[in-house]
Structures are given as C-alpha cells and as structure tokens.
C-alpha cells in the first residue's frame, strides 16, 4: 500500500490534464455552473409567470393564428371564385345605382323610381286584396283572393326570415322607409320587392284569364320593379335575382297548400 500511493501520485503529477491550464476542461468552475443554473431558473419562473398571466383565449388565439395565416395566404379555388363574383356584384350594383341619391346621374328620376317600387310593396297589395275580398260576391273570386292573401303573408314572413339570417347590407347606405319597416324589409338579401312581384306575376298568369299584351306587360312590370331596387341603391343584382327565384318557389308552395272553396268560406265566416 505505501508503494502504490507514491506511484499514483507520480502518475497524477505526470498527467497533462491535471495541470492548472487544463482544469477548466475537466471540471467547470462552480461560479459558472451556479450562474447558469440561476439564469435557467429565472427564465423558467418568468415563462411560468407569463403563461399564468396569459388568458386561455389569448393562448387559443395564438395557437390558431398560424392556421388563419395559412388560410389567408393559400385560399381555395372556391373561395377565390366566390370573392371574385362578390366583388363583381358589388361593383356592378354600385354602377347601376344611378338613382341612389340626388347627386347621382339620374337623381332627378329618383321619385319616379320610388313610385314604381311602391307598386311592388307588400302593404298596398295586402290592403287591396282585403278590400277586394270584402266586396267580392262569388265563390271563385273569394277562393282566389284568399289564396292570394295567404301568398302575400307567406312572402313577407319568408323574406323577413331570410333577411334576418343573411343580414346583408345594400350597396349604398340608404335608410329603409316606413313601409319597409312595416314589412320587415330592412336588409338587402333577398330583395322583398323582387320576390313579391315574381310571385304575383306568376299567380296572375296562372289564375287569371289575360290577353297576350297584358301578360307581356305583367312580366315587364315585374322586371322593372325588381331592377328599380338596384337603381335606387337598396339591393345588389344578386339580391334581385335571388328574389325572383324565391318568388317563384313561394308560388309553388302556395299551389301545394292551395285552400279549397269550402276552406275559404269557413275562414271568411270566422273573420
């Protein structure tokens, strides 16, 4: 044992790595270790405090931001096509709004266009149908008028419900009139006037005996009333076209639930 100890000491003395200039390679200084450990602890505590201070909504938003950026930077073909058609619709509707205000190119004709729009409003048609129903004395006339009244009421409710769901504004910031508030026609999609005139024209063409000139005038009246809403800036072109489609579908619905003469007589007697 005494002989082995001097040998090990001599071996350690001859080892180059045990010199002072190489000690840092084998054993790092305690001060460096402590500073590094303290800095890591402080950064970990700061990160934990920051994570606790952030709300769950903010963390959720930060996680969702990369996906949203990718969706915006890489839109789908359907999204590009839809946005392009929407931009074209808005641009064309603004150009056709020649009577949107007094300063427009056709601003002097605004009162006449508004008068044309009133002919397709729901309140005058409901009031006129009620007056004709009171004065009617034939069973066939009362049957047609009762179903017409049902169609008008359905049109107001369906269009008002669709407008509340879509909540689309018109191309111009125009305040709806009193009659529009009464029929809840305050939004742009679909156009209530367009759906009503389409339904009325189809109803009259099917249930009234009219000459060919009157049939042509009826169709032209429906088209003029529909596109007059674009001219005064209340609706887009797609709003009017969709209104025509919904008006035809409403007519088909009334035909399916058509009330017979006996049902109409029973309702009239209750009323």
The residues assigned a catalytic role are 193, 235
Question: 3-state SS string over 132-197?
Answer: HHHHCCCHHHHHHHHHHHHHHHHHHHHHHHHHHHHCCCCCCCCCCCHHHHHCCCCCCCCCHHHHHH
Q: Which candidate, 217, 216, 196, 231, places its Cα nearest to that of 112?
A: 231
Q: How far is CA 230 from CA 93, 164, 170, 196, 235, in A?
A: 6, 20, 9, 15, 5
Q: Virtual CA dihedral for 160, 165, 167, 171, nearest 10 degrees?
A: -80
Q: Which candidate, 160, 161, 136, places its Cα nearest to that of 149?
A: 136
Name the DSSP class of 1: -
Q: Is 102 in a helix, a strand, or coil?
A: coil
């Amino acid at each position: 044992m005494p002989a082995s100890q001097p040998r090990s000491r001599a071996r350690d003395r001859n080892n180059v790595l045990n010199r002072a200039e190489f000690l840092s390679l084998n054993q790092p200084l305690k001060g460096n270790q402590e500073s590094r450990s303290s800095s890591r602890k402080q950064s970990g505590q700061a990160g934990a405090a920051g994570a606790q201070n952030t709300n769950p909504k903010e963390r959720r938003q930060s996680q969702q931001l990369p996906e949203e950026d990718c969706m915006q930077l890489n839109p789908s073909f359907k999204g590009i096509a839809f946005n392009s058609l929407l931009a074209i619709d808005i641009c064309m509707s603004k150009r056709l709004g020649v009577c949107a205000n007094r300063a427009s190119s056709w601003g002097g004709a605004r009162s006449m266009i508004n008068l044309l729009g009133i002919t397709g409003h729901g309140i005058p048609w409901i009031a006129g149908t009620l007056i004709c129903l009171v004065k009617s004395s034939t069973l066939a006339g009362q049957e047609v008028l009762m179903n017409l009244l049902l169609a008008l009421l359905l049109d107001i409710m369906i269009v008002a419900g669709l407008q509340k769901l879509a909540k689309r504004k018109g191309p111009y910031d125009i305040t709806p009139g009193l009659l529009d508030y009464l029929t809840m026609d305050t939004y742009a999609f679909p156009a209530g006037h367009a759906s009503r005139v389409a339904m009325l024209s189809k109803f009259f063409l099917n249930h009234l005996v009219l000459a060919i000139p009157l049939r042509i005038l009826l169709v032209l009246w429906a088209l003029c009333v529909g596109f007059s809403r674009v001219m005064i800036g209340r609706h887009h072109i797609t709003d009017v076209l969709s209104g025509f489609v919904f008006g035809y579908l409403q007519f088909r619905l009334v035909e399916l639930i058509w009330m017979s003469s006996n049902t109409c007589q029973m309702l009239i007697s209750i009323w």
